[in-house]
């Protein structure tokens, strides 16, 4: 098994682990390094270049290296995985764990495979809660950086007509397809590795649980695919340290921010003066993908 390792100062090990989780890790292992360093490692992709791409820009003081091992850390956590209560109406559970959530609770069963994870990272929990709160029956939803597909699945279970889920990783696409079928919504979740720049149309809800540099890079396209009265949900950003992301997304305006464990999820809408501009962009059929 091919592992990617980050060698970082010991006091930055948690930040490095969060970077790996947000880049698609199914499990993360931390080891003591030399001279005040920690080694944080995981499986991201079979191809080293793709692993580097998924990580994005890193601090110069972090060393990246690759090693081959027999046993991957991504499997050891499975015995300890537990359901995640997102809110009083929604629980995300490992596919292999029995859940007695009680009446009135929707349970989303997830097998993460080689993708983002189960939903236990704060950014995913925040995004899942925002998706559950925001989606209305009949909505068209776009999930950018779909990982295991949990947000796209939640949207459909909440009443969306269809979710379009895109991710640069083939493992994420495969996991999203499998999890959509597992939760009985396979016909209404369309998963692909289509780049956001090639997604056409407009969506009532757009979710992007990805790191700040990528959010900034994709800002123009996130605005382009948002319907005039739509809502953009962003996460993967640090609480109190994401003003640069909001500036890149202007004129979209934040209307709600939720925080958990130093992470944030922000809901943005277009101000009334900017809706006409968005409406001009939305000239193709809703939710189309350029083939």
Same domain, 12 and 115: no
Residue 259: which CATH number? 3.40.50.150
Residues 6+ apart with CB under 8 A from 32: 38, 39
Residue 69: which CATH number? 3.30.70
- C-alpha span between 78 and 96 (Å, rounded): 9
Same domain, 138 and 62: no
Q: How far is CA 161 from CA 131, 181, 287, in A?
A: 14, 16, 11
Residue 39 near residue 78, CB atoms below 8 Å = no
Instruction: Let me know if residue 287 belongs to a domain.
Output: no
The pLDDT of residue 5? 93
Q: In the listed set 41, 76, 111, which residue is the last one of a domain according to the structure?
A: 76
Residues 6+ apart with CB under 8 A from 181: none
Beta strands at 253-260 and 263-269: parallel, antiparallel or unpaired: antiparallel
Instruction: Let me know if residue 127 belongs to a domain.
Output: yes
Residue 206 near residue 166, CB atoms below 8 Å = no
Residue 127 near residue 235, CB atoms below 8 Å = yes
Same domain, 148 and 227: yes
Q: How many domains, the chain?
A: 2
Q: In the listed set 57, 76, 95, which residue is the last one of a domain according to the structure?
A: 76
Instruction: Give the mean pLDDT per block of 10 residues along the chain (291 residues).
Output: 90 86 74 91 82 88 89 57 88 87 89 63 91 97 94 97 92 90 97 95 96 92 96 94 96 96 93 59 48 34
Instruction: Let me know if residue 170 belongs to a domain.
Output: yes
Same domain, 92 and 179: yes
Residue 209 near residue 151, CB atoms below 8 Å = yes
Instruction: Let me know if residue 165 belongs to a domain.
Output: yes
Same domain, 56 and 91: no
Instruction: Let me know if residue 289 belongs to a domain.
Output: no
The pLDDT of residue 53? 84
Same domain, 50 and 34: yes
Same domain, 161 and 19: no
Same domain, 104 and 57: no
Rg, Å, the chain Cα set: 18
Same domain, 20 and 107: no
CB atoms within 10 A of CB 89: 14
The label of the residue with tokens 């209404």 reads 188
Instruction: Let me know if residue 7 belongs to a domain.
Output: yes
Same domain, 166 and 113: yes
Q: In the listed set 32, 50, 76, which residue is the last one of a domain according to the structure?
A: 76
Residues 6+ apart with CB under 8 A from 153: 108, 163, 176, 179, 180, 183, 185, 189
Instruction: Let me know if residue 106 belongs to a domain.
Output: yes
Structure tokens at 186: 């396979």
What are the φ and ψ backbone dihedral angles of 184, each rounded to 5 degrees?
75, 20
- C-alpha span between 123 and 100 (Å, rounded): 25
Torsion of CA 65, 5, 64, 16, to 10 degrees: 180
Same domain, 36 and 90: no
Same domain, 133 and 54: no
CA 8 to chain CA centroid, Å, is 24
The pLDDT of residue 61? 94
Report the predicted TM-score, pTM, of the whole model to 2 decimal places.
0.75
Domain range holding 65? Answer: 2-76
Instruction: Let me know if residue 265 belongs to a domain.
Output: yes
């Amino acid at each position: 098994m091919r592992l990617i390792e980050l060698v970082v100062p010991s006091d930055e090990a948690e930040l490095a682990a969060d970077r790996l989780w947000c880049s698609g890790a199914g499990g993360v292992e931390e080891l003591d390094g030399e001279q005040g360093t920690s080694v944080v490692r995981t499986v991201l992709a079979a191809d080293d270049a793709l692993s580097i791409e998924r990580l994005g820009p890193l601090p110069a003081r972090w060393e990246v290296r690759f090693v081959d091992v027999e046993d991957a850390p991504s499997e050891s956590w499975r015995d300890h995985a537990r359901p995640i209560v997102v809110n009083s109406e929604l629980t995300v559970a490992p596919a292999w764990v029995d859940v007695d959530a009680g009446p009135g609770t929707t349970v989303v069963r997830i097998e993460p495979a080689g993708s983002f994870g189960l939903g236990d990272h704060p950014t995913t929990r925040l995004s899942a809660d925002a998706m559950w709160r925001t989606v209305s029956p009949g909505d068209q939803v776009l999930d950018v950086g779909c990982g295991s597909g949990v947000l796209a699945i939640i949207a459909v279970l909440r009443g969306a007509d269809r979710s379009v889920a895109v991710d640069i990783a083939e493992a994420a696409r495969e996991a999203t397809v499998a999890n959509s079928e597992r939760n009985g919504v396979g016909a209404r979740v369309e998963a692909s590795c289509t780049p956001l720049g090639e997604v056409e149309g407009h969506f009532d809800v757009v979710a992007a649980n990805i790191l700040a540099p990528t959010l900034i890079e994709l800002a123009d396209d996130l605005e382009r695919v948002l319907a005039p009265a739509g809502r953009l949900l962003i996460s993967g950003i640090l609480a109190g340290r994401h003003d640069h992301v909001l500036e890149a997304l202007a004129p979209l305006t934040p209307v709600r921010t939720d925080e958990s464990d130093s992470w944030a999820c922000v809901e943005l809408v277009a101000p009334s003066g900017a809706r006409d501009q968005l409406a001009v962009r939305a000239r193709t059929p809703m939710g189309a993908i350029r083939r």
